[in-house]
């Protein structure tokens, strides 16, 4: 009997199928072959199942890769945000002391700008893993695109010009402005680079609008496996540049894949994480040597007005009887800068470098502590565990939780525990003082009301 082999056959109705073929010779008593028995088994379903299995295996490996990078990004973000907090805190303290006309002033402001840019890079690193590190608010997508295009005009290839075709209506979405800006920036950068080496002038077109999508239409988009039908705001970035072949299209979301010699390959990988985190989708059409079109869809917000983003830059209202603030953080640089900031604004400060030490300090100085500033990521006792121990001590003062992650992420970690206040790292000194002051004022109002 010969080994089984696979051959494509034609059915009576004209359709084709893959058949596993087994040929067995018929022999006489003298071992002479007189004929053959041929058995054909239709294995089309088996081949499809194996292809689906390979596809699922590839998806699982990709998910594991993202998860590993997410864990790595989370650890880096925590340490990086602590360093940035120390840098930003100290530069802001210097700016408070410096005269506006001081020759040193521009240099210190440059340090602050660089640190804030580094904080955005840190956010992009976390966004790559698809983790929800967003400061959510409602905003108009058209305004974000217009502002991003203004920034890009000095960066975009001189061989290309940008055409805007924006919807007349306000396109309200709920999410993180900085992250959506990053998506627009990355897609514009890719479009610019795709047109820079061609002989004729390149053109980058940006369109926005609203689209009503049904369940069956999500198959045209990446990241929409569990999408809910409804109204979606969209924006498209189209160019007439170099385009992509099938191989590039299959690898465009892979980490560190790039077609550019000096590229780092995190552009579209970062975009994919941001879009997933905002429950959106991405449609890609590209033809080699003709150009590409990237269409991003995001759920339309039911809110009709944009929210304001309070950075704590307004006038500070500090309670007269502010008491002592207990700072619990394992990073000494963070504790030092927080100590300097709070003391400059008239607060007394107690410091603990671990959760267990923080609980001990609270018990010992309970009568003089008016608020607790608690870091959520610490070795030994975590912020969650420390918070639970403080609750067991019947803590009745404001607790401000700090983390490089978003308030949504921290809420999930707390598993139903009430978060009194939240402050995202890295933060400005004014923001720190503002949050603590508001927490103390609110506590005073509640205490006064309960004493009536």
Q: What is the DSSP string of 154-199?
A: TTS-TTEEEEEE--SS--EEEE-HHHHHHHHHHHHHHHHHHHTTSS
pLDDT at 255: 62
- What is the distance between the alpha carbons of residues 137 and 177, in angstroms, rounded to a whole number? 8
Residues 6+ apart with CB under 8 A from 170: 140, 142, 304
Q: What is the pTM assigned to this prediction?
A: 0.58
pLDDT at 327: 96
- What is the distance between the alpha carbons of residues 184 and 149, in angstroms, rounded to a whole number? 9
Burial label, 333 (beta-carbon count in 10 A; 0-12, 13-18, 19+): middle
Q: Say which residue the tokens 């805007």 belong to.
A: 164
290-340, pLDDT tens digit by residue?
Answer: 889 999 999 998 876 665 555 554 555 666 567 799 999 999 999 999 999
- What are the structural domains, with CATH classification, of the chain? 5-42 (no CATH), 65-128 (1.10.287), 137-299 (3.30.565.10), 324-450 (3.40.50.2300)
pLDDT at 154: 61
pLDDT at 179: 82
pLDDT at 262: 39
Lookup: tokens for 40:
């054909």
Lookup: tokens for 8:
């494509």
β-strands 399-403, 369-375: how paired? parallel
69-101, pLDDT tens digit by residue?
Answer: 667 766 777 788 889 999 999 999 999 888 888
Task: Please state which of the ranges 252-256, 295-299, 342-346, 402-406 shows the lowest mean pLDDT.
Answer: 252-256
Give the range with max mean pLDDT: 188-197, 223-232, 275-284, 306-315.
Answer: 275-284
Do 213 and 229 form a contact (C-beta atoms < 8 A)?
Answer: yes
Compute the radius of gyration of the chain from its Cα atoms. Answer: 30
Residues 6+ apart with CB under 8 A from 171: 140, 141, 142, 208, 209, 210, 233, 300
pLDDT at 263: 40
Alpha carbon 394 to its chain's center: 36
Residues 6+ apart with CB under 8 A from 37: 23, 24, 25, 26
Q: What is the mean pLDDT of residues 271-283?
A: 87
Alpha carbon 75 to its chain's center: 15
153-179, pLDDT tens digit by residue?
Answer: 666 667 778 899 999 988 999 988 878
């Amino acid at each position: 009997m010969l080994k089984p082999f696979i051959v494509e056959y034609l059915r009576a109705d004209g359709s084709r199928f893959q058949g596993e073929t087994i040929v067995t010779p018929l022999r006489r008593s003298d071992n002479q072959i007189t004929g053959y028995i041929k058995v054909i088994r239709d294995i089309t379903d088996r081949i499809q199942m194996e292809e689906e299995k390979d596809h699922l295996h590839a998806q699982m490996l990709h998910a594991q890769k993202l998860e590993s990078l997410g864990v790595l990004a989370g650890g880096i973000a925590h340490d990086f945000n602590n360093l940035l907090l120390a840098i930003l805190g100290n530069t802001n303290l210097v700016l408070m002391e410096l005269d506006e006309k001081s020759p040193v002033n521009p240099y210190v402001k440059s340090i602050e700008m660089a640190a804030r840019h580094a904080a955005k890079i840190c956010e992009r690193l976390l966004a790559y893993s698809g983790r929800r590190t967003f400061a959510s608010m409602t905003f108009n997508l058209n305004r974000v695109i217009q502002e991003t295009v203004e920034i890009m005009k000095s960066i975009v290839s001189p061989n290309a010009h940008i055409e805007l075709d924006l919807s007349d209506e306000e396109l309200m979405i709920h999410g993180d402005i900085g992250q959506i800006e990053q998506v627009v920036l990355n897609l514009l950068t890719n479009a610019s680079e795709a047109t820079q080496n061609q002989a004729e002038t390149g053109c980058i077109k940006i369109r926005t609008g609203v689209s009503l999508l049904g369940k069956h239409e999500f198959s045209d988009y990446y990241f929409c496996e569990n999408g809910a039908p409804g109204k979606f705001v969209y924006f498209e970035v189209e160019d007439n540049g170099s385009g992509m072949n099938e191989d590039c299209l299959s690898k465009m979301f892979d980490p560190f894949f790039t077609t550019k010699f000096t590229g780092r390959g995190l552009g579209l990988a970062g975009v994919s994480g941001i879009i997933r985190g905002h429950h959106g989708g991405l449609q890609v059409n590209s033809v080699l040597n003709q150009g590409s079109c990237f269409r991003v869809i995001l759920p339309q917000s039911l809110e009709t007005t944009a929210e304001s983003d309070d950075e704590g830059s307004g006038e500070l209202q500090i309670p007269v009887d502010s008491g002592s603030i207990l700072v619990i953080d394992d990073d000494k640089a963070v504790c030092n800068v927080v100590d300097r900031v709070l003391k400059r604004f008239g607060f007394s400060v107690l410091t603990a470098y671990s959760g267990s030490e923080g609980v001990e300090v609270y018990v010992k100085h309970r009568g003089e502590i008016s608020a607790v500033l608690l870091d959520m990521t610490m070795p030994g006792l975590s912020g969650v565990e420390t918070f639970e121990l403080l609750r067991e001590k019947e803590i009745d003062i404001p607790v401000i939780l700090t983390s490089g992650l978003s308030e949504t992420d921290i809420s999930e970690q707390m598993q139903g525990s009430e978060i009194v206040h939240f402050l995202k790292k890295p933060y400005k000194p004014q923001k720190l003082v503002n949050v603590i002051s508001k927490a103390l004022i609110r506590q005073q109002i509640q205490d006064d009301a309960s004493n009536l």
